[in-house]
Structure 1
């Protein structure tokens, strides 16, 4: 089966990772009807982990890259679930959580890493509603966590 979206990812010099295993008592994705609800993803790519609070321990730029890592992990899950990324009708919503100091207010700059990559890959299908907020801590002390709701076609 042809997968033009996968070819687009490769043309950007990117590669989908293996589907990450959940780290606790949940599943990566639940499908109901034509919606996929993806669990929160962490910025982990092999041995590389984006750890710590923004901006004190992790720069905005590094956390932005972490958000991109998360999206590639989430896309790997989507592909595993539906077979072809060309079946993605729309990225519906993205929720981004940034581990940050109480006086940090640039959460959107971090979460833009995810949002911009989705549009690069999916074009208009990648445009979505979004929440970007700060929290005092995240699992495994990661800098950012992102979940998605995606509409797919049969």
Structure 2
């Protein structure tokens, strides 16, 4: 039984997520570089610019037991048949507990069964063993490497094995 649920990101989430954006450990293996501290107002403005974009579906990862918001998962650059996948658990207390895997399965089912996408791709830092493990377990396959980042892709046929 799932420990989490996904819901659309909301402006109020900025009160929590701005803290994650200021934590360099959360972003160690990403292309995000913090130049100036992120305030709740800056985060709220960023969210307000993102949450209603037609080609993006951004979700909060929340614990069923407490409704606590612990991370984000999203599909961006959505077009007729593909999207780019992003995942992070911002609350480090929940790292390594299998929640990223659960959220990945949920959003990929949404991508393939609701949005009817043909493939979803992502980039992951080659040294990010935890993320790479999740992506491989879900069914992403490495298709190329650019510098320190691996490009991975998944299609609906692979995901059906998880159902």
Give the TM-score normalised by structure 2. Answer: 0.35
- Structure with the bigger RCO (C-alpha within 8 Å, sep 6+) is 1
When normalised by structure 1's length, the TM-score is 0.37
